[in-house]
Chains A and B, each alone.
Chain A
C-alpha cells in the first residue's frame, strides 16, 4: 500500500478511537449526577411515581452500556434526547427535543465562525510570512509586540473595547448581534461584524506568531541555505523550496486556531447576545440542563477533533518525503 494511504488510514482510525472515548466521557456526565437529581429537576412536590416515570424515560433502570449505545446510536441519527427544562412536578412535559434547540443555533455559530476565519486566516498568513521574511525589522517588532499584548487579553476585554469604540462612542455597528432566520444576508454580516472582528483579533495573534515561527524554522534549514548559495531568487526559494514543506505546519496552525475559535465563540456569543450554540450551552450549564449540555459539548468536541484530524491529513498528504518514497 502507498505509504500516504496507510498513514492517512492510521490517522482516521486514531481519530475514530478518540471520538469513541470522548463520547463515553460526555455520556458519563449523566452517570456522575447525584442519585436524587430526578427529584431536583421535577421539584420537591413531585410524586414518587412521577420521579420513577422520569427515571424510566431516561432509561436509568437499564445498565449503563446499553444506555450508552442507545444514546450514541441516537446521536449519530441526530437524536440527542430531550431537554430537562419544561418539566414540572405534576408530570406535565413541555420539554423540547435537544436537536430542535441546537439546530437553528448551529447555523448561526457556523456563520460567525466562518466569517471570522475568512478574515483571520489570510490576514495572519500574510502577516506571518511578511514578519518572517523581514524579521527583526521595525515592522516585525511592532507586529510582534502588538500580538503579544492581544494574546494576553481575555476575549471579553477585546469585545468590550470594540463595543466602546464602534458601537457606543461612534454608532457604526450594533452592539447586540441579534439575528433571526428572516434576517437577510447583508444585514446578517453587518450585525455579526463586531463579534467576527473580536474573534479575528483573538486568533490572528496566535496564528500569525505560529506561522512566523514555522517559516523561520524552515528558512534556517540547510537545504534552503543550499538553494540560496546556488543562486536561486527569493521568490523561487519561497515558492519552490520552502512552501512545499511549509504546508504541513501551516495547516496545523490554521486547524489549531480554528479549533481555538470553537472555544472563543462561547464567550463572544455571550458578550454580543448572539443566538448561537455557545450561548445555549452556557445557559444550559447555569440551569444544569444536562442533555443540552451533552449535545452542545458533543458538537464542539466533534468539530475540534475533526479539525485536528484534517490538519493531520493535510500534513501527511502534502509531505514531500511521504509523497516520493525512495
Chain B
C-alpha cells in the first residue's frame, strides 16, 4: 500500500486500513460529553473506591484504636473528634468506606448472580421451573423487605456473612423479575433457537447468546440495586442488627454518636459528628443515582419528554 503523503491515489485511500478508536479514547469522548451531574457522580464514586481500597494508608489511626478521651472535640489530632469510647472518628469514617461499601457491593453481586441466573433459566425454560420461580418470587415480594430481613436476622443472628446472604437473597427477587422480563424478548430470537438446535447446553445459551443482549438494562439496574442494598444495610446497621462493632460502619456510627446532636447549641461541630457518616451514605447514593441516570439516558436513547 502506498503510504507516500505527497501523492494521492484513490485506490490508496480506499485500501488504507480504517483505524478504529480504542476503547479508552471512546470512553474519554463519552466522558467529555457527560453532563455535570454524571461527572460529579463519577468523581465521588472514584474517591470513595479509593478510600475503600487504601483505607489503612490514608487513615491516621487504626480502625479500633482507642484513645483515652471519649467524645473529644474536633482538633488537629482528631479531625472529627473521637466517639463514645475514644476511637478516632475520621479514621473510622475511612474504614467505614471499606466495610459498608464493600459489604453492599458483595451483596449486590451475589443478588445479581442468584437473580440473574434464575431469571435467565426461567426465561429459557418456560415450564414448571418458570411457574415455580415466579410464584415463589411473588410471595417473597409480598413481605416488606426490611421486615423480612429483620425476621431472618433474628433467626440466624447478625453476622456479616448472614447479612450478605439474607439481603442478597431478598434482593435477588427484583433482579429475577427484571432479568426474566428483558430476556423473554431475546429468548424468542432466531439465533437463540439456532444455538439450541445446534445442541448447545443451557449455560452456553445463557452466557453467550442472551446475556450480551440484555446487559445494558442489567447494568443500570445494578446501580439502582446497589443504592437500595446500601441503604438497607445502613438502616439495619443503624438499628443495631447489621454490621456489628468493633467493625467501623457508617450506619452504626450514626447511632453510636447520635446523642452528640443534643449539644448543638454549645458545640455545633461536635453535633455535626453523627451527621458525617449519614452524609457519606447520602452522598454515595446520590452519586450512583446520577451516573445511572446518565447511563440509562445513553443506552435507552429515551429523551425526557420535552
Chain A residues near B140 (CB-CB < 8 A): 25
Q: Once the chains bind, are A301 and B282 in contact (CB under 8 Å)?
A: no
Task: Produce 1/0 per residue, A1-40, CB < 8 A to B.
Answer: 0000000000000000010011001100100110000000
The CA-CA distance from A290 to B154 in the complex, in Å, is 7
Instruction: Please give me the residue from chain A that is nearest to B157 by CB atom.
Output: A288
Q: Once the chains bind, are B275 and A164 in contact (CB under 8 Å)?
A: yes
Number of interface residues of B (CB under 8 A): 50
Number of A-B contacts (CB under 8 A): 142
In the assembled complex, how far is the CB of residue A54 from the closest CB belonging to chain B, in whole angstroms?
Answer: 18
Contact of A263 among B147, B151, B254 (CB under 8 A): B147
Check A250 for interface membership: any CB of B closer than 8 A: no
Chain B residues near A168 (CB-CB < 8 A): 261-265, 271
Q: Once the chains bind, are B281 and A163 in contact (CB under 8 Å)?
A: no
**CB contact under 8 A between A29 and B286, given known A157-B278, A300-B144:** no
Check A173 for interface membership: any CB of B closer than 8 A: no
The CA-CA distance from A32 to B152 in the complex, in Å, is 9
The CA-CA distance from A175 to B155 in the complex, in Å, is 33
Chain B residues proximal to chain A, CB less than 8 Å: 138-140, 142-148, 150-157, 227, 231, 234-235, 238-241, 251, 254-255, 258, 261-265, 268, 271-272, 274-275, 278-279, 281-282, 285-286, 289, 304-306
Instruction: Pull 14 A–B residue pairs with CB atoms less than 8 Å apart, ordered by A.
Output: A18-B139, A25-B143, A32-B155, A136-B306, A153-B285, A154-B281, A155-B235, A161-B275, A169-B268, A263-B144, A267-B238, A286-B240, A300-B144, A301-B142
- Please give 13 more A-B residue pairs, beta carbons under 8 A apart, in addition to A266-B150, A285-B151: A18-B138, A22-B139, A25-B140, A32-B155, A153-B282, A156-B278, A157-B254, A157-B278, A168-B261, A267-B235, A297-B143, A300-B147, A308-B142
Chain A residues proximal to chain B, CB less than 8 Å: 18, 21-22, 25-26, 29, 32-33, 135-136, 148-149, 151-157, 160-161, 163-164, 168-169, 175, 216, 220, 259, 262-263, 266-267, 270-271, 281-282, 284-286, 288-290, 293-294, 296-297, 300-301, 304-305, 308
